[in-house]
Amino acid sequence: MSHYALWRARVLAYHAVENMSDTARKPLLLIVDDDALITDTLSYFLSRDFDVSVASSRNECIERLRKSDPPQAALIDLGLPPLPHRPDEGFALISDLLAHSPSMKIVVLSGQNEEMQGRHARALGAVEFVAKPADPEKLRQILFKVLAFGAAEDAAEAEAAHTSTCDLIGESLAILKLREQARQYGSSPFPVLIEGESGSGKEIVAHCCLHRQTERRNLPFFALNCAAIAPTLVEPTLFGYAKGAFTGAVANKSGYFEDAGNGTLFLDEIGELPLDLQPKLLRVLENGEFQRVGETQSRISHARVITATNRDLRQEVRKGRFRADLYHRLSVFSISVPPLREMGQDKQLLLEHFRILYAHQAGQAPFTLTDAAEQRWMNYAFPGNVRELRNIVIRLSTKYPAHAVSLPELESELDSPSGEQSQSILLSDDPSELIATAQQHLQRQGHFSLDDTLHHWEEAYIEAAQRLTQGNLSQAAKLLGINRTTLYSRIETLARMKNQGNH
């Protein structure tokens, strides 16, 4: 009998003795897997405790999300069509799901049981990685735990909502600058553009710092992720529609600009806004005017608009994918949310905050880190930013309550470079990874010259920058983060060294 047949038999036996009655409202759970046996089995087993929906591909999943409320949790496979033997679609789906709902708890259930893939899935935002075949009861317990941690986060946020302080955690210069900018721009009626990497907390800045700490705190706050909604639905969602405007429009419906009133409208991933809608958003920003879909009557919005992006909108403007006039209108004020790797000791403050929060929620003593593990924590780059840090703390809280987590135990929770990346690990922002790789390199080398190695890297990067910019030294210097005269000087020095080496 196969693993999956045994799995299904175990599920049926379990349900034969379980009480199926459930009067409480169940949390929503999305299962994404292209194996019908697995989705049928898990749906049957988990339907006692969850309101389950199923999709067999990334595209089907996204379409389902666009038509329904976001689930609190998702259980997804990595190997999905059209690339069922590779993790690419699963990795992309993790990002899609978190773009749609940043608070969603994602558990990866994958037959591709490679440690590197699990690490990368967690760095992207998954809270846990479980290899197939898995015990359905174990999956159920994992889902309960991650949802309980989510409830703790919601409770902490609700408590913070009754205070006038911003719950941005950190004392680094980057965070102090961010708080000061938020204080300056918070009460202004003008738009604010928030830029930052995925997982860095852009919506927290919008909601907590630019809405809740201003006179708008008691007014509505509406948020729309432009990447998580079908392009055809963006306009009616924002502006509303008239009865009969399109199939399914059975009554007049107001949009976010009306519903927000004098409050705040937050548009996340604004770089994904369709080009044909950008002039309509620009019109609202310039004079407050908009029209419901299917109406000719103009209406006026008084909502304050905040937008966010993890793209370089200036680059998008240059490529013709975003209107220059809209960009300049949106970025009257700009705020840059720093990546976690630039926040120094704030990594420790965030660790303390989340480990105490989750330990309190679970009614248990928090874990600690050994000295070696704490040093690794401070050296780790956290490519998934605060979202990744929080999920690591969730896993450590679950596995090691009241335990001193060692370096090997922590290391297994961190992202590691893939085989392709390991060849270029010297580009890493993580000092510990740099040191480990350099040590391996020195041990393998019979003879090593630091000067020659540095010159080779410098020459390669300068050559690459010139190729990318078709020989434009000003653009190449900008790409390398140095000024033009410095670049020219380094080119001359490298050329002179090469000539000397040839003689």
> Residue 220's domain is classified under what CATH number?
3.40.50.300
- Whether residue 102 is contained in a domain is answered as yes
Residues 154 and 177 reside in one and the same domain: no
- Whether residue 128 is contained in a domain is answered as yes
Q: What is the pLDDT of residue 17?
A: 36
CATH number of the structural domain spanning residue 479: 1.10.10.60
Q: pLDDT tens-digit profile of 235-290?
A: 999 999 999 988 888 899 999 999 999 999 999 999 989 999 999 999 999 999 99
- Whether residue 231 is contained in a domain is answered as yes
- pTM of structure: 0.67
Residues 209 and 318 reside in one and the same domain: yes
Domain span at 15? 3-159
Judge contact between 275 and 268, C-beta under 8 A. no
CATH number of the structural domain spanning residue 107: 3.40.50.2300
Q: pLDDT tens-digit profile of 460-475?
A: 888 778 767 766 777 7
- Whether residue 381 is contained in a domain is answered as no
Q: How many domains does the chain have?
A: 3
Residue 486's contacts (CB-CB under 8 Å, 6 or more residues apart) are 477
Residues 186 and 305 reside in one and the same domain: yes
CA distance 157 to 376: 29
Sign for the CA dihedral angle at 299, 304, 309, 312 comes to positive
Residues 98 and 27 reside in one and the same domain: yes
Residues 332 and 464 reside in one and the same domain: no
C-alpha closest to that of 55 among 26, 24, 104, 89: 89
Of 337, 363, 392, which closes a domain?
A: 337
Residues 179 and 142 reside in one and the same domain: no
- Whether residue 427 is contained in a domain is answered as no
Residues 15 and 107 reside in one and the same domain: yes
Residues 254 and 295 reside in one and the same domain: yes
CA distance 97 to 103: 10
- Whether residue 362 is contained in a domain is answered as no
Q: pLDDT tens-digit profile of 181-207?
A: 998 998 899 999 999 988 899 999 999
- Residue type present at position 158: A
